[in-house]
Structure 1
Amino acid sequence: MDVSADIVIDLLLGGSLVGILYLIAAVGAVRAFRVRGPRAPSSPHAPPVTILKPVCGDEPGLYENLRSFCEQDYPTVQVVFGARHSGDSALPVVRRLMRDLPDADLSVVVAGGTRGANQKVGNLANMMSVVRHDVLVIADSDMRVRPDYLTAVVSPLGDPRVGLVTCLYVGRPVRGLWAALGAMSINYGFVPLVLVGRLIGAMEGCFGATIVLRREVLDRIGGFAPFSNQLADDFALGEAVRALGWRAELSRYVVDNLVSESEFRQLLQHELRWARTIRAITPFGYACSVITLPLGLSLLAVALSWGSAEAVTVFLIAYICRLILVRVIERTFGLDAESSWWVPVRDLLSLVVFAVSFCGKKVVWRDRELRTGSDGRLFAGRSSR
C-alpha cells in the first residue's frame, strides 16, 4: 500500500474516532431532550392565532396533514391556505377540506404576483392580506400534528423576550424503501445534530416545520420581503429575529414530517437541496459535519485497507455506538424500530450526498431548478419537468 493511501486511511480513521465521540455526545443530547406528549390545553397564554399554510401541488397525505392543523383544541384559530395559481393540484384538496369543515375559519388566497426566486416566501407575503390575528404560525404542508399542537407552540410567546418559537420534526415514511431512507436521514442525522448543537450552544436553528411569531416581530424584520431570494428562508428569518435581541425558543413539541419520496431520484434531489442549503449558509460547519458519519467513514477505511484489524475495530465500535444512538432516538421520539442492516446503508448514502453536494450549486425544489449563491441566495432556473 502506497503512502498516499495510508494517509487517506489514517484521515478516515481519525475522522471516525472523532465521529464516535460525536455519537456518544448525541446519545446524551437526545436523552436530555424531553418530548412533550399529548395533554389537554391548559396554558393561560392562548391569544387568537392565524396559521399560514402555503401549498404547492398535491402530495401523499396532504388532506390529513392540512386537516390536523384545522382541528386544534384551541380557542380562536384562523387557517389561511395559499397557492400561486388556480391550477395548483393542491387546491382541490384545500376546497374539499373547506367543505368538510364548514364551521372552521378557513380561507384560501390564490395569487401569482410574487417577487423573488423563493415562491413559498412570495406565497406567504400574498397570504398576509387576509390575516386577522396577531400571532402567526407558519408550517410546511408536509407536516402533521396532534390537537394540542397550538397550545404547546404558542404558549412560549407569553414571555416577551421570546420572539420566535420553532419545533423539531421527525420523519414518518408514507410507503416504500426510498421514503424510509429519507425518514432515517431526518431521524438519525438531522435530529441528533440539532440537539448536540443546542446542547453545546453552537446551533440556533429555525425550522419550516413550525415558526411561531407575533406580527409585530415580523413587521420589525421587514415582513417576508427580505427572504424572497433565500433558499434557507426559515434559517434567515430566525437569524433576523435574533439579531433584534429576541430569543428563539425550541419547543418540546415534535412535529411529524410525512416523507413520501417514491424513487431514488426524488430522494437524492431532496437531500441535495438540504445539503447545498446548509453548505451555502455555513460552509465551514457543513464541511466539518462529515464527522457525524463515522460509520460510513470507517467502512471506507475497511475497504481501502483491505479489512485491516485496526479499521475493522473502529468500524465495529462506530456501528455499536450508532445503533445505540438509533435505539435511543426511537425510544425518545416513539419511532418504529428500523432494521440494523439499513443503518450503514443510510450512512453510506449520506456520505455520497455529502460528497456530491460539493459538485455544483443546482437544487430542485417543487419541480423548479434553481441555483444557490455563496450567501444562500437563490437564482431562478427552469422547471425540471
Structure 2
Amino acid sequence: MPHALAQAVEIATTALAVAGMAYFLAVLVAARIFLHQRRAQRSEFSPGVSILKSLKGLDPGMLEAFRSHCRQNYRGEFELLFGVWSLDDPAVTAVETLKAEFPQCEIRLILCPERLGTNGKVSTLVQLAVHARHEFLLINDSDITVGPHYLERVMACFASLPTPQKDAERMGQQAKQVGLVTALYRGRAHGSLPSRLEALGIAAEFMGSVLLSKWIERGMHYGLGSTLAVRREALERTGGLLPLVDYLADDYELGARVARAGDRVELTSEVVETSVPAYTWRGLVDHQLRWARAIRCSRPAGYAGLVVTHGLSWALLNIVASGLSPLSLWLLALSFFLRLAQAMNVGAGVLADHEVISNLWLLPLRDLIAMAVWIVGFAGDTIVWRGERFALKGGKLVKVAQS
C-alpha cells in the first residue's frame, strides 16, 4: 500500500475510533437519563384492549409467549385475536391449546385468507382489526413474551397528560396526546452461536441507538414491533393499517405516521422479550441484511450516521493501519472499555438482560460482523423474509420472481 494511502487510512480509522468513543459515551448518557426518568407506570386508566397477533408457522417458545399475555394483572377487559392465512398452519394447534388452558380469557382464532399486499403480516392485521371489539389495539410479534404488568404499564402511558403547553410552545409544537405506545425489548437466544450474537446485538447495539435517538430527538418518532399499542382514532388519522401492507418496516412506519399526524409516541417503562431462533450463519446474515436495508430505506441519513456506532471495529482496524502504534493500542483499550460499559448499562441495566454479561467476550466478533453488514447494506435492495425473496423500493416490498 502506498505510504500516502496508508497514512490516510490510519488517520481515518483514528478519527472514526474517536467518534465511536463519543457515541458510546452519548449512549451511556441516554441510558442513564432513561433509567432516571423511568418509573413503574400505574394508573386507574384500564380501557378495553384488543391484542392482535399475525401468525405464520411456529416460533421458538411461541406457546409460552402466548401464555404470558393471558397472565395479566389488568383491571380492564382485553381480548386476544390470532390471525392465520390457513387453518392448516401449525400455529393453529398452539392457539387451540391456549384456549383450553385459559377458558376465562377471550381468545379468538380468525382466518385471514386475503393477501392484500406483499407484507403478509400486515395483510393479516388489517383483516384482524375488523374483528377487534375495543377502542385500543395492541399489536406485537408472535414471539413476544411479556410480564404480568405489561398491559397495565402500557395503557398507563395513554393516561399521561398531553405535552405541557409551556414545553410545547418552547419546542414549537401544540400540546399532544399519546397516540401510540411502544416498548424496548431484549432477545432470548436459542442454542447456536449466531443466535447468541443476534441477541447480543439487540441488547448491546440496537436498543442503545433507540435510547440515543429518543434523547437527541426529544422523544420517540417511530414504533418498534415488540409493542405497537394505538388509539383507534389515532390510527384512523393515519389512514389505518391498509396503507402499510407493502412496507417492510411497518412498525417504524406506523409510529412515524402517528407522530406526523400530531400525536405523541411514548416509550413505556416495560421491557418485553423476543425469541431469537437458532440461526445458521446464513440465516443470521439474511436477517441482519434485512434489518440494515429496512433502516436504510426508513432513515437514510440515520443509516449513514451509523458509521460512528462501529467505534470498536474502527479501533481494531486502526491497530492494523498503524502497525501497532502506541496510540492505536490506547485507542483500542479505551474504546473496548467504553463499549463494555455501554453494553452492560443498556443490556443489563435498562433491559435486565442477564445473558449480556456472559456474552461480553463475543463483542469484538459481533461488532466486526455488524460493520460488515452495515457496509454491504449500502448496496443492493434484495432481502429474504420467511423464505421469500423481495426487492425494496422506497421502503416497500416488491416480490422477486423465483428463477
Q: TM-score range by the shorter chain?
A: over 0.9
Match of 2:240 among 217, 220, 223: 223
Deviates more, 1:142-151 or 1:333-342: 333-342
Which residue is equivalent to 1:120?
Answer: 121
Which residue is equivalent to 2:51?
Answer: 51
TM-score by length of 2: 0.90
C-alpha spacing 1:319/1:136, structure 2 compared with 1 (3 Å) = same
In the alignment, the residues of structure 2 paired with residue 170 and residue 36 of structure 1 have an alpha-carbon distance, to the nearest angstrom, of 20
The two structures, once aligned, show a CA RMSD in angstroms of 2.0
1:286 maps to amino acid? Y
Which residue is equivalent to 1:263?
Answer: 280
Name the SS of the counterpart of 2:400 in structure 1: strand
Q: Deviations over 1:7-27 (max 9, x none)?
A: 122111111101101101111
In the alignment, the residues of structure 2 paired with residue 36 and residue 94 of structure 1 have an alpha-carbon distance, to the nearest angstrom, of 38
In the alignment, the residues of structure 1 paired with residue 402 and residue 370 of structure 2 have an alpha-carbon distance, to the nearest angstrom, of 26
In the alignment, the residues of structure 2 paired with residue 275 and residue 103 of structure 1 have an alpha-carbon distance, to the nearest angstrom, of 42
1:92 maps to amino acid? T
Residue 178 of structure 1 contacts residue 267 of structure 1 at CA under 8 Å; is this kept in 2? yes
Name the SS of the counterpart of 1:79 in structure 2: strand
Residue 16 of structure 2 contacts residue 311 of structure 2 at CA under 8 Å; is this kept in 1? yes
Residue 35 of structure 1 contacts residue 252 of structure 1 at CA under 8 Å; is this kept in 2? no
Which residue is equivalent to 2:309?
Answer: 292
Name the SS of the counterpart of 2:270 in structure 1: strand
Which residue is equivalent to 1:109?
Answer: 110
Which residue is equivalent to 2:222?
Answer: 205
In the alignment, the residues of structure 1 paired with residue 235 and residue 39 of structure 2 have an alpha-carbon distance, to the nearest angstrom, of 29
In the alignment, the residues of structure 1 paired with residue 210 and residue 43 of structure 2 have an alpha-carbon distance, to the nearest angstrom, of 27
Which residue is equivalent to 1:313?
Answer: 330
C-alpha spacing 1:35/1:364, structure 2 compared with 1 (3 Å) = farther
Query: 1:158 Cα shift?
Result: 2.1
Query: 1:309 Cα shift?
Result: 2.2
Query: 1:38 Cα shift?
Result: 11
1:353 maps to amino acid? V
Which residue is equivalent to 1:82?
Answer: 83
Match runs of 1:60-209 below 5 Å: 60-74=60-74, 75-159=76-160, 161-201=177-217, 204-209=221-226
Name the SS of the counterpart of 1:85 in structure 2: coil
1:335 partnered with 2:353 = yes
In the alignment, the residues of structure 1 paired with residue 308 and residue 86 of structure 2 have an alpha-carbon distance, to the nearest angstrom, of 43
Q: Deviations over 1:322-362 (max 9, x none)?
A: 11112222133322213442111111111111112123111
Name the SS of the counterpart of 1:34 in structure 2: helix
Residue 36 of structure 1 contacts residue 252 of structure 1 at CA under 8 Å; is this kept in 2? no
Which 5+ residue runs of structure 2 have no aligned equivalent?
A: 163-176
In the alignment, the residues of structure 2 paired with residue 37 and residue 176 of structure 1 have an alpha-carbon distance, to the nearest angstrom, of 34
User: What is the count of residue pairs matched by the alignment?
Assistant: 382
Q: Deviations over 1:253-311 (max 9, x none)?
A: 11111212331111111111110000112222101112111001111121233322222
Name the SS of the counterpart of 2:379 in structure 1: coil
1:357 partnered with 2:373 = no
In the alignment, the residues of structure 1 paired with residue 142 and residue 36 of structure 2 have an alpha-carbon distance, to the nearest angstrom, of 22
1:29 partnered with 2:30 = yes
Which residue is equivalent to 1:345?
Answer: 365
Which 5+ residue runs of structure 1 have no aligned equivalent?
A: none
Runs ≥4 residues deviating over 6 A = 35-39
Q: Deviations over 1:24-78 (max 9, x none)?
A: 1111111222399997x95210001110011111011010111111221113111
Name the SS of the counterpart of 1:123 in structure 2: helix
TM-score by length of 1: 0.94
C-alpha spacing 1:10/1:260, structure 2 compared with 1 (3 Å) = same
Residue 165 of structure 1 contacts residue 249 of structure 1 at CA under 8 Å; is this kept in 2? yes
In the alignment, the residues of structure 2 paired with residue 91 and residue 249 of structure 1 have an alpha-carbon distance, to the nearest angstrom, of 33
Residue 36 of structure 1 contacts residue 254 of structure 1 at CA under 8 Å; is this kept in 2? no
Deviates more, 1:299-308 or 1:127-136: 299-308
Name the SS of the counterpart of 2:208 in structure 1: helix
Which residue is equivalent to 2:396?
Answer: 377
Query: 1:153 Cα shift?
Result: 0.4
Q: Deviations over 1:57-101 (max 9, x none)?
A: 101101011111122111311100011222222221112111221
In the alignment, the residues of structure 1 paired with residue 35 and residue 195 of structure 2 have an alpha-carbon distance, to the nearest angstrom, of 27
Name the SS of the counterpart of 1:212 in structure 2: strand
1:50 maps to amino acid? S
Name the SS of the counterpart of 1:178 in structure 2: helix
Deviates more, 1:332-341 or 1:11-20: 332-341
Query: 1:224 Cα shift?
Result: 0.8
In the alignment, the residues of structure 1 paired with residue 33 and residue 111 of structure 2 have an alpha-carbon distance, to the nearest angstrom, of 43
In the alignment, the residues of structure 1 paired with residue 300 and residue 39 of structure 2 have an alpha-carbon distance, to the nearest angstrom, of 38
Residue 145 of structure 1 contacts residue 256 of structure 1 at CA under 8 Å; is this kept in 2? yes
Name the SS of the counterpart of 1:130 in structure 2: coil
In the alignment, the residues of structure 2 paired with residue 2 and residue 367 of structure 1 have an alpha-carbon distance, to the nearest angstrom, of 47
Q: Deviations over 1:97-122 (max 9, x none)?
A: 11221221000112221211111110
